[in-house]
Amino acid sequence: MGYRARRVVAMTTTNEHTTATEDTTEYVHEHTPRLAWAQHAPEVFKAMIKLDAAARKGLDPVIYELVKIRASQINRCALCLDMHTKDALAAGESVERIVQLSAWEESQHFYTAKEVAAIELTEAVTVLTDGFVPDEVYERAAAHFDEAELTQLIAAITVINAWNRFGVSTRQVPGHYKPGDIK
């Protein structure tokens, strides 16, 4: 069996329990990863974990997860989306803010000005091949983050872009992550 995060097709409520009826829908077969890269490059994997820990220091944890999700949407990293949406929800993030994130320009009132500046910088640093990081995007972020936090934000954007590259190129499989699996 592949996909585990089944839709809830029916709920039965008795006095004591609420039970979800098992979903019997036939889903598309789950793919296998191209390469178990962490097993074949364990030192690289360990170094990535350390880099991730170094990059999140001093950065607002709510903004950190929004950045992780937005970059993973742009890079279309399924495993990273699975992981970071679950981590964000477990940390108390709202479903609404996660769902609206890919259309944040039209739903800015869901976010603080500081979060919007961070999301905008995330897009510019992620889609680097479209040409640099525009001055106005950088300046807007610099107006909300001091130098130390801004450079940690840049580091965090860089690190999720790195995880996205490992995840997408080796075709890692989403659906099995549970919050707290990787610390």
Partner 1 sequence: MTARTTYLDKGVVSAMSALSAAAKRGLGDPALAELVMMRASQLNACAFCLDMHAEIALENGESPKRIALLNAWEEAGELFGERERAALALTEAVTVLTEGFVPDEVYERAAAHFDEAGLAHLIGVITVINSWNRLMVSRRIEPGGTFS
80 touches partner 1 (CB under 8 A): no
118 touches partner 1 (CB under 8 A): no
5 touches partner 1 (CB under 8 A): no
Reduced to 3 states (helix: H, G, I; strand: E, B; else coil), residue 53 is helix
76 touches partner 1 (CB under 8 A): yes
Q: Which residues pair with 147 in a beta bridge?
A: none
79 touches partner 1 (CB under 8 A): no
103 touches partner 1 (CB under 8 A): no
Helix axes 61-75, 147-169, angle to 10 degrees: 40
Q: In this chain, which of 159, 172, 174, 177 binds partner 1, going by CB under 8 A?
A: 159
Q: In this chain, which of 95, 128, 143, 182 binds partner 1, going by CB under 8 A?
A: 128
Reduced to 3 states (helix: H, G, I; strand: E, B; else coil), residue 20 is strand
Stretch that binds partner 1, among 6-14, 60-68, 112-120, 153-161 (CB under 8 A): 153-161
Nearer to partner 1 by C-beta: 112 or 158? 158
- H or E segment to which residue 165 belongs: helix 147-169
Name the minimum Å distance from CB 48 to partner 1.
Answer: 6
Position 70: which residue type? R
Contacts of 63 (CB under 8 A, 6+ apart): 114, 115, 118, 153
Q: Quick count: other Cβ atoms within 10 Å of Cβ 38?
A: 15
Strands, E, within the chain: which ranges? 11-13, 18-20
What is the number of alpha carbons within 13 Å of residue 141 lying toward its C-beta? Answer: 23
Binding site for partner 1 (CB under 8 A): 34-37, 40-41, 43-44, 46-48, 50-51, 53-55, 57-58, 74-76, 121, 124-129, 131-133, 138, 142, 147-148, 150-152, 154-155, 157-159, 161-162, 164-166, 168-171
